[in-house]
A and B are shown apart, each in its own frame.
Chain A
Amino acid sequence: MKHTYTPAQIIANFLKWILLLSLLAVALLPLLWLLISSLRTNLELQTNPFGWPKDMQWVNYAKALAMASLPRLLLNSAVVAASSVILNSAVTAMASFILARERFRGRDVLYTLFTAGVLVPVISFMVPYFSLITKSGLYNTLLALVLVYTAVNIPVSIFLVTAFMKSIPKELEEASVIDGCGFFKRFSVIILPLSRSGLVTAATFCFIYSWNEFLMAMLLTSSIESRTIQLGIKFFTSQFITDYASMYAAVVITIIPSIVGYVFLHDKIIGGLTAGAVKG
């Protein structure tokens, strides 16, 4: 369709792009800073955080890549993040379906209870988590991390996925019931595909959390076999001295998989799902 722009539209368009571009700057500058900083020396970083590297310090990347057991740490992180995402998506999709599409007494109480979990400062649960994991014999296993990450993300996921499932028009489901769809079919054929973007959003958050989490990983593991990449990064921080430049190089290296994971989860899966969207 061809548009003829009114002055008001031109101004609105102008303001829109100012907003979009300034936000773009805000989002990109930290990343750019990280990239530049990862190529500077620690002295340069300490004395002037915003300078340009005098000589490109590729050695920082060499140090980061020389990190002990880097492939193993990356593999562990990938396994933990992928398992947590799959497990979390599976269990929360099922629960959200009941909470969003079924009517029964106690449902609101249950929903409120699950979602109230978003308020919990997980740090205050460290002692019970530690007891739980050690007593169940899961200390120093990847499974411990998978369970914790899956569980910690339940409230947010339920919150998001339930909201999405609620917004699906009732008529669609009613039609399917008339067509003879049973409980499982309603879930798998009608509701699940229609709430895909909500599920993917929740999965994205779960993925980013699991990939970046550090404290629980430190608490619940003790050897390289079950440690994640975030602990590897912290080896540049000893009690008194932090090698920030190399740490940032390591951070850059570990951000790449998480960006890929994000783009895959979000852009590729949601990408195909724009049929109902507004046109530009």
Chain B
Amino acid sequence: MLKKSRLLAALLMLCLVFPLVAQGQVESAPAKEIELRWASIWVGNDSKAPAVEALVAEYNAKNAGKIKVVIEPQPDYNAYEQKVRTSLAAGQAPADIFTIKFNPTTATFYQSNLLMDFAKVMDASWKQTFDAGSLEQSTVDGMLKSLPMETAILPIWYNMDAFKKTGITELPTTLDGMFAAFDKLKAAGITPTSQMTGDTNAWTSMIWFSHFAVSLGGTNVWEKSFTDPAFVEAAKLTKRMITEYSTSDAVGLGAGGSGGHFLAGRTAVFSNGPWYAGRADLAATPFFNSIKIAGLPAAGSTKDFMISRLQANICAASSKDKAREAAIVDFLKFLTSAPSISKIAETSGAMFAIKTDYRPTKALQKQFYDVAVAAKTTAFDLEAALGAEVTLEFAQQLGALALGRISAEEFCALVDRKIER
């Protein structure tokens, strides 16, 4: 008994001492070197990871002894977002450099003086490198507390192999034509679309709804009341898509399930951003080379637009130390330079708010670039335009709408209540 308890005591001591010793080591860097911590989501199996890591290594080598950028890897995006908001709420920047998904919810962060205002440090030549529209979208009350970096368009994906089975080789150009094509698909035993109301944003259906709403109400539709006829009509169209032209499990389905139907060839039409194009499982499908990326036939008078969003904006911690702020700006200028962005785009196929000469060579990613270039205007999707709370209500009530428990008018009124004005 005594021996045992001694052993236990020793074990206890060991376990208590080890964590103390094994702390994340504090770098005893040379006095002058500024260390910048970057809480990066582009790590692990993210397609941007290799290029980003190479760029950081390149930068560190170039600035050896002066500036050192350290990547703090952030797996699991949802947990990362929680870490960012928890840290800011506790009165600290999560790192010297970090990214946010820009929308009205995260724009709240602009009220924090923990974040550096790039408007004050941005010279004309740096400003030149960015897409002007994205910069403007990222500016709130004259403050630019996040730099637009990764953008995305959210088009519609068509599996042309499925369409060919019904004799259709060209995409329909009108809404009626589209419904006719969908009816043919149904008759051929193929479910036309992958809709979903699950998760917290009803992702794919939210994209469809955004296409409908912008076409019906114009690119400034999100500034209107949600009870506007454009939204009511868009809701009716989305409901029709879910109830008549989607899989029987669409209500309550999550993004994984929705994508799974498309990958399995069970559905012919899908919607998602450019990141989906780089998936290994997509490349393994027999119809990979027959996917066509495009918009939807216009539901209203607005045509030739594309739905887009700011996928990742870069934030930096404000600092009283001028040298530190200068170091951050220096690194971000390097990161957002056209050569750097080209390298990241090359390996990932992602799209950026920074102008480069890079054009993808892979077929599917090239289509994304072509569609983005061809679009006359862009408009945000619902989540990017109205934020987390509105999107949640949208997703929850979309299920009720699809099941016929509420009317399109009631649906819009419910969502409208969540919009802050």
Contact = CB atoms under 8 A, between A and B. Distances in A.
B23 A226 contact: yes
Contacts of B74: 218
A20 to B, nearest CB: 34
B264 A140 contact: no
B20 A126 contact: no
Contacts of B284: 41, 43
Interface in B269-310: 273, 275-276, 278-281, 284-285
A173 to B, nearest CB: 19
A219 B90 CA distance: 12
B73 A235 contact: yes
Interface stretch (B37-45, B117-125, B161-169, B231-239): B37-45
Nearest to A220: B83
A232 to B, nearest CB: 8
Contact of A80 (B11, B19, B46): B19
Contacts of B83: 218-219
A234 B75 contact: yes
A22 to B, nearest CB: 27
Contact of A221 (B24, B260, B281): B24
Contact of B24 (A80, A127, A222): A222
Given A134-B90, A218-B83, A234-B75, A47 B23 contact: no
Contact of B86 (A90, A130, A141): A130
Contacts of A226: 22-24
A240 B19 contact: no
B90 A130 contact: yes
Interface in A221-245: 221-223, 225-226, 231-232, 234-241, 243
Question: Which of B16, B19, B41 has the most chain A CB within a 10 Å cutoff?
Answer: B19
A275 B216 CA distance: 77
B16 A43 contact: no
Contact of A83 (B16, B45, B95): B16
A215 B280 CA distance: 28
A110 interface: no
A42 B47 CA distance: 16
B63 interface: no
Contacts of A163: none
A226 B263 CA distance: 39
Q: How large is the interface on A (under 10, 10 to 19, 20 to 34, 35 or more residues)?
A: 35 or more
A142 interface: yes
Contacts of A98: none
Contact of A41 (B12, B18, B49, B281): B281
A127 B273 CA distance: 33
A126 B86 contact: yes
B37 to A, nearest CB: 7
Nearest to B91: A131
Nearest to B99: A239
Contact of A134 (B8, B42, B75, B92): B92
A195 to B, nearest CB: 16
Contacts of A232: 75
B18 A79 contact: yes
Nearest to A76: B22
Contacts of A239: 41, 46, 77, 275
B75 A140 contact: no
Nearest to A75: B22
Nearest to B20: A143
Contacts of A141: 19-20, 22-24
Contact of B44 (A87, A143, A225, A236): A236
A142 B39 contact: no
A219 B72 CA distance: 12
Contacts of A80: 19
Nearest to A193: B1
Contacts of A79: 15, 18-19, 22
Contact of A87 (B16, B24, B42): B16
Interface in A108-139: 126-128, 130-131, 134
B76 interface: yes
B87 interface: yes
B25 interface: yes
A227 to B, nearest CB: 9
A89 to B, nearest CB: 10
A235 B44 contact: yes
Given A240-B275, A241-B279, A142 B41 contact: no
A46 interface: yes
Interface in A170-201: none
B256 interface: yes
B192 interface: no
B29 interface: no
A143 B15 CA distance: 10
A86 interface: yes
The 6 residue pairs across chains A and B that have the minimum distance between CB atoms: A47-B264, A235-B44, A142-B19, A238-B46, A234-B75, A83-B15
Given A130-B87, A235-B44, 20 more contacts: A41-B281, A42-B280, A43-B263, A46-B264, A126-B82, A130-B86, A131-B90, A141-B24, A146-B16, A214-B76, A218-B75, A218-B82, A218-B83, A219-B83, A223-B24, A232-B75, A238-B45, A238-B46, A241-B275, A246-B45
